[in-house]
């Protein structure tokens, strides 16, 4: 019987997965879902909204938070503590003037803080929309108090007019780089540097065509540069494509670059960028006709700038599908496109329409769009002002590159459906295996933070955490690695959460299977704790190997009195969003049919009778990197009411702990249990026939699985290089932890159950290792919550 019980789980899971559609694309699913908790540190003030600008001042221990007509200095250790605040409201005259021009007085005609940058230890530069009249000022922190200096200056080009228009800015030294619209109507986009040598882009559609600015950052490429190169400022945005022949406008995603030392041209491109180049960003998603649009970017810097990576979020521009993706781009790959790639050039066709094609003519020397480096200096060109007109005229007319920038590994790192991804930050963590892992924290449009990491091509979402009770869209994310906090802002408030909460994983198995680089199981304290140098800790990020975890307690079966003719519901919670449920009856696989129905993990027994009495076991089965982890989540002992005298309800039953033997998984065949064969289960002849039939069934099933795997394997490789699992539909919106035992069965080949995109991946089973299946602990189940009879089946 132990042999049959063990293999029941395997065949049941294989049968379930084999019925999945092989052509349905699979998406990354968070392993755990953590509901909103009031323990999160939250800040908001009545009457204030749009908390959309943040500046971390770690040396001062404060988080500066910009909102509508207010700036706050919050305690970094607890942002619910407001140390200081200043209010910058528009005058009535400004508000009337704005309203006269057709804007909403109580919405658009207010002062939204959009720019907040540090200039030195105590001084910040702050700009607001000021009722569609952008204005900037200096702000200082004196004795812990925020003070606006009252040195207001024109903010046109530094801050957007429209409070709801995407824009980006960056302070490099004392120079402010900004990308926004420079007029009231928002029709004149500009990429501007405000300094003693102010520069901007040309007002030409070939430079910027109705752009939507997203992000900018600086990369210090001059450090240890063998060719004397300059630092670069990179700008990410989307705009209407000029290079495609479509009757209607089509948006594409771009990355642009300028040199920090650019001073403009002497005669051509006076006070304009001489180094402005742009290229399309490629983030390939299967089946897309229109390219996805960049929504947010984060630069994860490396001490070797060539290894620095831009992590980007993309969404579909059609709006017909709720699909988001994360693509990553190495700075060195972007640099290669700009320094080695070919240019596009406009040509006129007979219809007077301009078509953009690859430029095949001679490229001037020095190369157009390049920074002043050792090669240029040898030619006597020490400043951009010295560049020849031929080079400047070339780049003025041809700022677009022919080649698109490819993502790392040539495909998205992560693809999500349903709630769109909105913001991203990334932390680099060193784990116990000595390797570093990039942990992504991704905000969504429904108020969740998703925590994801890439393990050698396998994208794994550790958990998703609801941080806003009303599920507000996350509009800004900031990360403090040194303090270990993440800060998120929405329209209605700001929240603080730790980068990890290891105590959430109460057992060794939970701690290891979470595969969180921040966490490890400490055998000394018997707690899941932050990674330390202790030698008594365990972590298995890539393998998810729990074999070294201690044995848990046995499970306590729950007695349930069965009343003939009633329908019985037996609850069972899955231990993970990636897990499948497998039910057994008297140690035999229970297949759904007209008698038994399984939904949301629960088992429903229709029209119960004496033949339904016995032992029911619910197993939660999850596959991680070639291993199948089985946990017994619930055990029920259904007994006839005659066994308890006059007892007729579950409340009158007694509970006892039934010792359950440990069985080792070995090769064997299981008889699927149905109502028709219960009475014959004691006859060996009937069992042998059923075993033979099931043997043929399993062999046929394995053949089908292998065929489907071969057919889908090539498509799978396009999406996730090491994807080894199939998606499991999320069963519950709550995080549930139940101590249990985990047993493992080695799975060979590409795996079903992966949380990430895959296409029809299947597997074979290896029983040679000593995987163990054991009925284990179910805490506090004696309360029978959710357990009961259903007399009216319309309740289902």
Question: CB-hemisphere CA count at 13 Å for 514?
Answer: 32
275/681 Cα distance (integer angstroms): 81
| pLDDT at 533 (0 to 100) | 63
Find out if CATH 2.130.10.10 is the number for domain 201-417. yes
| pLDDT at 14 (0 to 100) | 45
| pLDDT at 352 (0 to 100) | 61
The CA-based dihedral angle spanning residues 57, 62, 64, 70, taken in that order and rounded to the nearest 10 degrees: -150
456/101 Cα distance (integer angstroms): 56
Pick 2-24+552-795's CATH classification: 2.40.40.20, 3.30.1180.20, 2.60.40.10, 1.10.287.1080.
2.60.40.10
Question: Would you say the CATH fold of 201-417 matches that of 2-24+552-795?
Answer: no
Domain range annotation of the chain: 2-24+552-795, 45-154, 201-417
366/402 Cα distance (integer angstroms): 19
Label residue 760 left, alpha or beta by phi (over 0 means left) and psi (-120 to 50 means alpha): left
| pLDDT at 645 (0 to 100) | 53
| pLDDT at 286 (0 to 100) | 79
Tens digit of pLDDT for each residue in 218-249? 999 999 899 999 999 999 999 999 888 766 78
| pLDDT at 643 (0 to 100) | 63
Tokens of 467: 């941080």
Q: Which residues contact 688 (CB under 8 A, 6 or more apart)?
A: none
207/191 Cα distance (integer angstroms): 10
57/260 Cα distance (integer angstroms): 25
Cis peptide before 366 (omega within 30 of 0): yes
Dmax (CA) for the chain in angstroms is: 105
Tokens of 707: 């065929």
| pLDDT at 372 (0 to 100) | 96
753/761 Cα distance (integer angstroms): 9
407/580 Cα distance (integer angstroms): 33
| pLDDT at 401 (0 to 100) | 97
87/109 Cα distance (integer angstroms): 16
Q: Give the Å distances, CA to CA, from 721 to 37, 458, 631, 758.
A: 36, 7, 29, 10
132/120 Cα distance (integer angstroms): 29
Is 577 exposed, middle or buried (CB count within 10 Å of its CB: 0-12, 13-18, 19+)? buried
Could you say which residues of the chain have pLDDT below 50?
1-26, 646-693, 695-696, 699, 702-796
DSSP letter assigned to residue 382: -
* DSSP codes joined into one string, 158-216: TB-SSTTS--EEEEETTEEEEEEE-STTS--EEEEEESTT-EE--S-TTT-SS-EEEEE
Give the phi and the psi of residue 278 in degrees, each rounded to 5: -140, 155
| pLDDT at 143 (0 to 100) | 87
Q: Which residues contact 369 (CB under 8 A, 6 or more apart)?
A: 274, 275, 276, 277, 338, 395, 399
Kindly list the strands in the beta sheet with 62-67, ordered across the sheet, starting from the edge strand earlier in the chain.
53-57, 62-67, 70-75, 78-87
| pLDDT at 319 (0 to 100) | 67
Task: Kindly report the length of the chain.
Answer: 796
């Amino acid at each position: 019987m132990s042999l049959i019980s063990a293999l029941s789980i395997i065949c049941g899971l294989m049968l379930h997965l084999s019925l999945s559609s092989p052509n349905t694309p699979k998406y990354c699913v968070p392993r755990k879902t953590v509901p909103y908790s009031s323990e999160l540190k939250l800040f908001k003030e009545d009457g204030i909204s749009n908390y959309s600008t943040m500046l971390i001042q770690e040396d001062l221990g404060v988080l500066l938070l910009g909102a509508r007509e207010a700036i706050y200095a919050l305690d970094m250790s607890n942002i619910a503590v407001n140390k200081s605040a200043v209010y910058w409201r528009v005058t009535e005259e400004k508000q009337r003037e704005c309203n006269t021009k057709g804007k909403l007085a109580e919405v658009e005609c207010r002062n939204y803080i959009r720019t907040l940058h540090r200039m030195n230890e105590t001084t910040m530069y702050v700009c607001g929309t000021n009722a569609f009249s952008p204005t900037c000022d200096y702000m200082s922190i004196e004795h812990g108090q925020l003070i606006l200096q009252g040195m207001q200056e024109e903010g046109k080009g530094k801050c957007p007019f429209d409070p709801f228009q995407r824009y980006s800015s960056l302070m490099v030294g004392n120079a402010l780089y900004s990308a926004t619209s420079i007029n009231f109507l928002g029709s004149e986009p500009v990429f501007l540097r405000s300094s003693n040598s102010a520069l901007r882009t040309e007002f030409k559609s070939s430079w910027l065509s109705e752009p939507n600015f997203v992000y900018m950052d600086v990369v210090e490429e001059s450090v240890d540069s063998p060719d004397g190169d300059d630092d670069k400022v990179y700008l990410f945005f989307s705009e209407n494509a000029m290079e495609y022949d479509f009757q209607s406008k089509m948006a594409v995603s771009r990355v642009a670059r300028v040199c920090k030392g650019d001073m403009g041209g002497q005669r051509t491109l006076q006070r304009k960028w001489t180094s402005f180049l742009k290229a399309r960003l490629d983030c390939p998603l299967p089946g897309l006709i229109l390219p996805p649009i960049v929504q947010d970017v984060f630069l994860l810097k490396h001490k070797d700038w060539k290894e620095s990576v831009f992590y980007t979020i993309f969404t579909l521009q059609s709006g017909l599908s709720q699909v988001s993706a994360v693509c990553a781009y190495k700075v060195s790959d972007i640099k290669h496109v700009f320094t080695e790639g070919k240019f596009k050039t406009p040509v006129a066709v007979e219809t007077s329409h301009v078509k953009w094609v690859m430029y095949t003519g001679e490229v001037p020397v020095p190369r157009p769009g390049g920074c002043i480096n050792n090669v240029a200096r040898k030619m006597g060109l020490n400043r951009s002002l010295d560049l020849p007109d031929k080079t400047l005229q070339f780049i003025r007319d041809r700022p677009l590159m022919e080649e698109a920038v490819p993502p790392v590994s040539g495909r998205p790192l992560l693809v999500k459906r349903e709630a769109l991804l909105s913001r991203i930050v990334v932390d680099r963590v060193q784990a116990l295996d000595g390797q570093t892992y990039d942990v992504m924290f991704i905000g969504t449009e429904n108020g969740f933070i998703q925590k994801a990491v890439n393990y050698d091509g396998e994208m794994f979402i550790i958990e998703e955490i609801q941080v806003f009770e009303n599920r507000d869209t996350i509009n800004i994310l900031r990360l403090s690695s040194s303090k270990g906090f993440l800060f998120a802002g929405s329209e209605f408030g700001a929240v603080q959460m730790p980068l990890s909460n290891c105590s959430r994983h109460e057992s060794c198995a939970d701690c290891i299977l979470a595969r969180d680089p921040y966490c490890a199981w400490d055998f000394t304290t018997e707690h899941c704790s932050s990674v330390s140098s202790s030698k008594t800790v365990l972590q298995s990020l890539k393998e998810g190997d729990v074999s070294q975890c201690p044995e848990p307690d046995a499970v306590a079966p729950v007695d349930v009195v069965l009343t003939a003719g009633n329908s019985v519901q037996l609850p069972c919670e899955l231990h993970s969003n990636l897990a499948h449920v497998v039910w057994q009856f008297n140690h035999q696989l229970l297949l759904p049919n007209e008698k038994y129905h399984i939904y949301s993990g629960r088992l429903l027994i229709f029209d119960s009778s004496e033949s339904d009495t016995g032992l029911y076991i619910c197993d939660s089965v999850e596959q991680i990197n070639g291993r199948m982890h089985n946990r017994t989540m619930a055990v029920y002992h259904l007994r006839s009411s005659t066994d308890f005298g006059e007892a007729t309800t579950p409340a009158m039953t007694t509970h006892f702990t039934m010792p359950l033997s440990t069985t080792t998984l070995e090769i064997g065949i299981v008889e699927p249990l149905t109502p028709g064969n219960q009475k014959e289960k004691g006859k060996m002849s009937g069992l042998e026939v059923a075993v033979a039939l099931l043997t043929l069934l399993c062999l046929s099933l394995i053949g089908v699985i292998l065929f489907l795997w071969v057919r889908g394997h090539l498509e799978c490789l396009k999406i996730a290089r090491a994807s080894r699992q199939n998606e499991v539909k999320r069963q519950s919106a709550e995080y549930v932890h139940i101590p249990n035992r985990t047993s493992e069965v080695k799975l060979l080949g590409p795996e079903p159950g992966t949380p990430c995109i895959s296409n029809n991946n299947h597997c074979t089973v290896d029983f040679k290792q000593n995987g163990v299946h054991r009925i284990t602990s179910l805490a506090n189940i004696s309360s029978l919550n959710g357990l009961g009879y259903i007399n009216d089946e319309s309740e289902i």
